[in-house]
C-alpha cells in the first residue's frame, strides 16, 4: 500500500498528538503538582535523622536539612524527591539516597457557597474543574441560578459568571473550566415564581426554564377543586420596582417573581 502526501501528513499529526499526550501523561505521573501551604512528609530510606515534615512556603520553596531551599510549588512529589536526592548526593551527605515525598495535608483550597448541597471549603487534591468542584460541594440545587467564580488577579478580583442550567445541560462544558487555589465559587438562587389562591400546592417555585402559566400550575399540583383556570391574575414586577396586576391566560409565559393567583370559580 502506498501512502500519499495527504495520508502521510495525517499520520504525522496523529503521531505528534500521541507523543504530546504521552509526554503530558508522564509529566503528571509523579503525582499531583504541589502548591503553597501543602505539608510534605519527607523520608530518606535508612536515614531516620533526615526525616522531616515541611510546609511549602509562600515563595514556593521548602527548606530541607543539608539541602537548603529548593523549589517545590509546581513540581510533582516525584520531582521533589529527585531534587532532594540529587542535592544529598551532590553534597556527599548520603551515597545513594532514596527519598520518599508524600503530601501530609493539602494547602490548595477553594470555597463553594450558595445553592449547593454541601457549601463550604473543598480541598484541591488534584487538578480540579468547575464541574468537579460543584460535585464535591454536593451538587447544584434545583433552584441554582448563576454560578459566580471569583479569583484573585494581579489587578484585583477576576469575576466570571455561568448560568447553572447551561452547566447542567452541557451547553457550557464545566469540565474545561479550571478551579485554582483561593478561588471563590458562589451559586446564586435562580429566579422564582409564586402560586397563590385556589391551587393544590401554593408556594414558591424555582423558575429554572421557560414556563407557561399552565405548566407553572402543573408544578403546583394543578388548580384546586374550587379554583378556575379562567380566573387567573398575575402580579408582575416592573423595571422600576413597582408591581402591576394583569389578567393571566394558560399560555402566557411566566416571568421571574410573578405571583400567579388562581381565583375561586363561579358556580
What's the CA gap between 70 and 227, in Å, rounded?
Answer: 75
Q: What's the rounded mean pLDDT across residues 25-45?
A: 74
> Under CATH, domain 192-264 is a member of which superfamily?
Outer membrane lipoprotein wza domain like (3.10.560.10)
Mean pLDDT, residues 202-209 taken together: 88
Res. 3 pLDDT band, cuts 50 70 90: very low
Domains 39-105 and 192-264 share a fold: no
pLDDT digits (tens, 9 = 90+) for 50-61: 999 999 998 999
Whether pLDDT at 26 is above 70: no
pLDDT at 235: 95
For the chain, what are the domain ranges?
A: 39-105, 109-189, 192-264
Q: Which range among 4-13, 92-101, 133-142, 231-240 shows the weakest confidence by mean pLDDT? A: 4-13
CA nearest neighbour of 40 among 54, 60, 28 = 54
pTM comes to 0.59
Whole-number percent of the chain with pLDDT over 90: 66
Superfamily of domain 109-189: Outer membrane lipoprotein wza domain like (3.10.560.10)
Instruction: Give the model's pLDDT for residue 7.
Output: 40
17: pLDDT strictly greater than 50: no
The pLDDT, as a whole number, for residue 31 is 63
**How many whole angstroms separate alpha carbon 143 and alpha carbon 155?**
33
Q: Mean pLDDT over all residues of the chain? A: 86
For the domain 39-105, what is the CATH superfamily, name and number? wza like domain (3.30.1950.10)
What integer is the mean pLDDT of 64-71?
92
Residue with cell 530541607: 64
pLDDT digits (tens, 9 = 90+) for 105-152: 888 889 999 999 999 999 887 789 999 999 999 999 988 989 999 998
On the question of pLDDT at 216 being above 70, the answer is yes
Residue 202 CB: number of other CB atoms within 10 A?
17
Contacts of 104 (CB under 8 A, 6+ apart): 39, 40, 41, 53
- The secondary structure element, H or E, covering residue 219 is helix 213-219
Amino acid at each position: 500500500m502506498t501512502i500519499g502526501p495527504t495520508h502521510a501528513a495525517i499520520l504525522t499529526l496523529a503521531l505528534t498528538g500521541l507523543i504530546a499526550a504521552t509526554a503530558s501523561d508522564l509529566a503528571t505521573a509523579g503525582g499531583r503538582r504541589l502548591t503553597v501551604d501543602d505539608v510534605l512528609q519527607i523520608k530518606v530510606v535508612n536515614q531516620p535523622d533526615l526525616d522531616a515534615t515541611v510546609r511549602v512556603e509562600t515563595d514556593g520553596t521548602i527548606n530541607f536539612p543539608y539541602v537548603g531551599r529548593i523549589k517545590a510549588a509546581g513540581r510533582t512529589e516525584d520531582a521533589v524527591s529527585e531534587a532532594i536526592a540529587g542535592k544529598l548526593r551532590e553534597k556527599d551527605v548520603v551515597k545513594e539516597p532514596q527519598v520518599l515525598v508524600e503530601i501530609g495535608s493539602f494547602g490548595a483550597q477553594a470555597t463553594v457557597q450558595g445553592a449547593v448541597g454541601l457549601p463550604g471549603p473543598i480541598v484541591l487534591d488534584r487538578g480540579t474543574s468547575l464541574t468537579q468542584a460543584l460535585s464535591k460541594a454536593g451538587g447544584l440545587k434545583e433552584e441554582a441560578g448563576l454560578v459566580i467564580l471569583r479569583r484573585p488577579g494581579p489587578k484585583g478580583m477576576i469575576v466570571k459568571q455561568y448560568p447553572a442550567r447551561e452547566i447542567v445541560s452541557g451547553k457550557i462544558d464545566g469540565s474545561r473550566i479550571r478551579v485554582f487555589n483561593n478561588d471563590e465559587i458562589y451559586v446564586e438562587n435562580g429566579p422564582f415564581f409564586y402560586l397563590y389562591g385556589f391551587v393544590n400546592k401554593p408556594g414558591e417555585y424555582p423558575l429554572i426554564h421557560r414556563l407557561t402559566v399552565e405548566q407553572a400550575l402543573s408544578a403546583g399540583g394543578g388548580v384546586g377543586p374550587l379554583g378556575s383556570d379562567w380566573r387567573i391574575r398575575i402580579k408582575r414586577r416592573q423595571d422600576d420596582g413597582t408591581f402591576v396586576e394583569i389578567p393571566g391566560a394558560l399560555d402566557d409565559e411566566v416571568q421571574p417573581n410573578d405571583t400567579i393567583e388562581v381565583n375561586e370559580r363561579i358556580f
